[in-house]
Structures are given as C-alpha cells and as structure tokens.
Chain A
Amino acid sequence: MTTSSDTQVAPKPVSAPAPPDASDIRTGGAHLGDRVFKIGTGAFGALVLALPFVMIVMLYSASRPSIAKFGPAFLTGTTWDPVREEFGALPFIWGTVVSSIIALVIAVPVSLGVAIFLSELCPQKLRRPLGFLVELLAAIPSVVYGFWGVFVLVPWLRDSVEPALIRWFGFLPLFRGQPLGFGMLAAGLVLAIMIVPTIASISREVLRAVPDTQREAAIGLGATPWDTIRRAVLPSARSGIVGAVILGLNRALGETMAVTMVIGNRPKISTSLLDPSYTMASVIANEFTEADKDIYISALSQIGLLLFGVALIMNLVARWLVANVRKRSAGKAS
C-alpha cells in the first residue's frame, strides 16, 4: 500500500532485492474480499474515532440550556440550590481539585518509591508478584474502595488520625473543625490509594526505558546506587514521570463512587480538610437520577462536559510527555 507498509511486511532487503512492486502483494485491490474487509474494519475504526466527537456534541447540546442561562457565572457561582434553580459549580470544582491535590501529594512520592523499587532494586523473583499486587490495586472496583473507606478508613480517621491532627496542627486552617471522618481528607486518601497503581506502573515503564548504559556509566564513576538513580536515571525519565502523574491526576479527577461514599457530599467551600465536601463527579452520581427539571439535568450535564474537557486536555499532555521519553530513549539505545 504505502511505503510504511512495505517496511512492515516485506522481508528485509537482506534476503534478496525485492521486486519494485513487491508491495502489490498486499494492495488488496485484487480481491473483492479484501476491499470489503478494508472498508468493514475501517468502518469500525471510524466508529471509535467518531465516539469522542459524538460525546462532545451530545454533552454540549445537553448542557446548552445551562450554558445559555448561567454563562461563565456557572463556574464561579457558589450556590447550588436546585429548588430555586440556582446553579454554581465552584464548590464541586473546589472539591474535585482539592481532593485530587491531596491524593497527588500522598500518592506521588509513594508511587515513585514503588516504581524505583520495582525497576531498580527489587530482586528478580519478587518483581512479578509485587508488580501484580500493585496492578491488583487498580483492579479493585471503585465501589469496593468506597465501602472499605466507609467502614475502615473513615472510623480510623475519625477516632485516631483527625483528633491528633486537630490537637497538634489545629492552629492551621487546614485542620480546623470536628473529627467527622467523612470529608476531604478521607476522599483524598482513598483517591491516593486508587491512583498509586497508575502512577507507579507507568513510571516503572518509563524508568525501564532509560538505557542501562546510563546506569553503568554512573556506577563506573563510583556513584552510590541512590546517586545512580537520582542523577543518571530520574533526570532522563522526568518528563515521562510527569506524564504518569498527570494520568494519575486524570484518574483522580474522574473517580466517582469511592469519593462519593466518603467525602460527605456537602456543597460548601471550606479550607479545612476535615470538613465534608463534594466533587464534580459525585454531584452527577448523586443527583442525576433525582434531577426533576430540565435545567437541573442540563447543569449536571455541563459539569460532565467540564470533566470531559479537563480529562481530555490532561490526557493529551500526559501521553505526549510519556511518548516523548520512550521516543528519546529508543533513539539513544539504537
């Protein structure tokens, strides 16, 4: 077909000089079946390609009434009152952003530690089972996380962690209030657990992609194992790790069930991490089926559209960063 298909399929020119039209073997024009096959599979491919666009269009048209009515004030309004039909999404944006930041603050160092351990230090025998366990963490359904959060994490926070935080750090606005258990902190913690596998497994891949010559060079210069990692491995992997973190953040922003179950669901902006909060995904999950008015559904759809937009942008940036590392290290290796 094209030159690129030549290089994929035709035998390497080592064996024999390929006839100039060797690619004609697979032009597919000869058989009717080939044409049908090409068009058929292409149609399914086109469907996949079209889905995100259809999604944007549908979400946009569903949220049009809300966009028309509230305009940009939707993003800055702090009142969410379905009865009076007043919809401002700021408390949810706040809840989503803050809970995700907590999750990142906890999860990033831990995930990097795990990734480094798995790619650089772990004995070969442990590597597979441990990697599998970390991946299992990603396989547990979100509703089970939430359930566990409600019955294990929340009581633990309420009875031991939060009273201690209030006693020692109560002077900070971050830790004022009552030890309720349910709240921003619980949500952030659950999210942190949930995004560790994402960040860890991608970072591990990125670290593995750093050519061994770099490690050998550092060791040869007398660097300690940590200095090798710190100065010879991590810098090359940096942008890929940033990409992994963004993908983790992406997961945290969109995560619904577990957060909904432990965050307390109160649409108020508070500086305290101990207070209940509400996220964009949670409000959709909780109120969509109860939404009785069109404008209410439209406002919720607009939150869905916002989530989609944010996820899209972060996804693109993250994949670009990760792909960059792979490409660069592949270039170096060869």
Chain B
Amino acid sequence: MSNRTHLLVPAEGERRRKIRSTLWLGLCGLSAVVVILPLLSIFLYVVQKGAAGLSLSFFTELPKPVGEPGGGMGNAVVGTLTLIGIASAIGLPIGILSGVYIAEVGRGKFADWIRFFAEVLSGVPSITIGVFVYALVVVPMKHFSAFAGGVSLAIIMIPTVTRTTEELLRMVPPHLREASLALGVPEWKTSLFVVLRTAAPGIATGIMLAVARIAGETAPLLFTAFNNRFLSTRVDQPIASLPVQILTYATSPYQDWQQQAWTGALVLVVVILVLNLLARLGTRTRIGAKS
C-alpha cells in the first residue's frame, strides 16, 4: 500500500528529469533536421544553377574555347561511361568471384583473410589509390590513360562488390543448395546457377551502388585518366570524365565554364540519386517479397 502511494506522488526531481529528457530528445531531433539542411541546400543550388544549362547539346557537343558560347561536356559524359565500363570489366569479375569464394567455396582462414583485406581496401583513401595506380600503370605505360583511370576506379569498387556478393549469397536459403546437390548437380554448377543466380538481383543492386560511388570519384582520376578536351574512347589515351571536368570548370574564373560545371554537377547528382533510389526500391521489394 505504501508502495503505491509512493508511486503516485512524484518523486523529488521528477519534473526536472522529465524536462531534461525532453530537452535532450529534442536536441536529437534537431540534429536530424540540421543534417538535412546542407543536403537540401546542395540540391537546391545544383538544380537552380544547373538546370539553366541543361540541353541536348550539353551531352553531345565538345567543350568550346573560353569566350565562345555553347559547347557541352560530351567528351566527359562519354569518358565517364567508358571509365565505368573499364572499371566494371576489371572490378566486377574480381569482386563477384572473390565474394563467391568467401561465401561458397572456402570457409577457412584463407576466406577470413580475404574478407579482412577487402575491408582494409575499402578504407584506403581514394587519392592514395591514385598514387598507387600511377606507379603501377601510368609509369610503365609512360602516359596517362583511360585504362589507368579504370583500374583505380575498379580498386575502389572491388571491396564493395565483394562484400555485397558475400552477404547476399549467405542470405540464400540453404535448402536451395541442398536440393540442387541432392539432384546430383556438381557443386560449382550449384554455386553458379542456383545460389548465385538466386542472389543475382540483390548483387545487381550492390553493383549499382558501387557504380554510383565511382561515377563521382575525382581524386583517383587526376593523375591516372587525367583529362582530354576531345572525345575519346581509346583505352590507352587520356580521357575526360564528368567529375574532373566539373573540377576544372568550377575552379576556372570564367562564367560560362562555371555554368557548365553546375550543369555537369546536376547531371552527376541526378544519375547518382537515381541509382541510389533504384537500389533502395530494389531492396525494399525483395525484402517485401520474402516476408
């Protein structure tokens, strides 16, 4: 009985405790708002400034010399696509197959070490990767090249792809594999055509995110892919890319170049946003289907 009355009468400091609680929780909510502000500001600016320069010629034309109106970033758009292509051609097989190895084939110490070093790799600053690829590819080739740029982007991509592949392969229900093995299908076929195939949509999502990530990378391209004022898809030549072109134009003193840079930034941000959204929607429907 005495206990109950004790509960009914607010203890000393009770009000203070409640106020303090509300205050701190309010601060937490506020920080969520604060974090969204720069995001909004960036989106607003990029859209507002960039939309003005958006036209078909932006994607098709080459940069014009300073002072001449018009021109576009056709070279950079093609360049970025080429670089992504090269990076995927190198990075995807390595990433996916090493992920398959970790999840499916090897489960011992060796696989643990691979997983561990993939994580180490993902923490390496991208500029350092640029320096590394410069020593590895550019110096022996004696000049900058799209290939070198692709290699550095591939190195950035690999750890993400490896990890996603591994995680998604582990999510595949074991009875699928068991059923396949019980039918006498060899292990490698089971791994590739049953397990990997089941996980494929999820892995594709992971790959989209990895592509979104490398599409915006600038630092490792500065002294690997370098830049190119002309349209080029040659693997052994320097190549333009959207981020590097944005950097060059953004830091230039010319108004129309800065305008182009804003438009470039808009294109880049929209592409990355769409890739992220698609990935997000993909994940949601998959999870929804499962539960």
Contact = CB atoms under 8 A, between A and B. Distances in A.
Contact of B186 (A31, A41, A111, A319): A31
A248 to B, nearest CB: 12
Contact of A224 (B17, B114, B191, B250): B17
B127 interface: yes
B98 A44 contact: yes
A225 B25 contact: yes
Interface string B106-121: 1110110110011111
Given A114-B35, A226-B21, A256-B127, A285 B101 contact: no
A141 B272 contact: yes
Contacts of A311: 123-125, 128
A45 B32 contact: no
B41 A139 contact: no
Contacts of A169: none
B135 interface: yes
Interface in A181-226: 193, 196, 200, 224-226
User: Chain A's interface: helix, strand, loop or mixed, by majority?
Assistant: helix
Contacts of B188: 28, 31, 33-34, 36-38
Interface residues of B, number: 96
B29 interface: yes
A58 B132 contact: yes
Contacts of B162: 48
B21 A300 contact: no
A169 to B, nearest CB: 21
Interface stretch (A49-57, A74-82, A160-168): A49-57
Interface string A115-141: 011100110000000101111110111
Interface stretch (A1-9, A170-178, A270-278): A1-9
A290 to B, nearest CB: 10
Contacts of A2: 107-108
Contact of A147 (B121, B159, B219, B261): B261
Contact of B226 (A33, A116, A284, A289): A289
Given A28-B187, A113-B28, A147-B250, A44 B93 contact: yes
Interface stretch (B55-63, B64-72, B174-182): B174-182
Nearest to A62: B135
A49 to B, nearest CB: 5
Interface in B122-142: 123-132, 134-136
A315 B130 CA distance: 19
B8 interface: no
Contacts of B282: none
A227 B13 CA distance: 13
Contacts of B286: none
Interface in A244-267: 247, 250, 253-257, 261
CB-based closest 4 A-B pairs? A254-B125, A141-B216, A113-B31, A37-B188
9 contacts: A25-B181, A44-B94, A136-B273, A137-B38, A140-B272, A144-B46, A196-B35, A226-B20, A281-B125
Given A55-B129, A257-B247, 14 more contacts: A9-B177, A37-B192, A42-B105, A46-B114, A132-B276, A137-B39, A144-B216, A152-B41, A254-B126, A257-B219, A281-B127, A284-B130, A285-B222, A307-B127
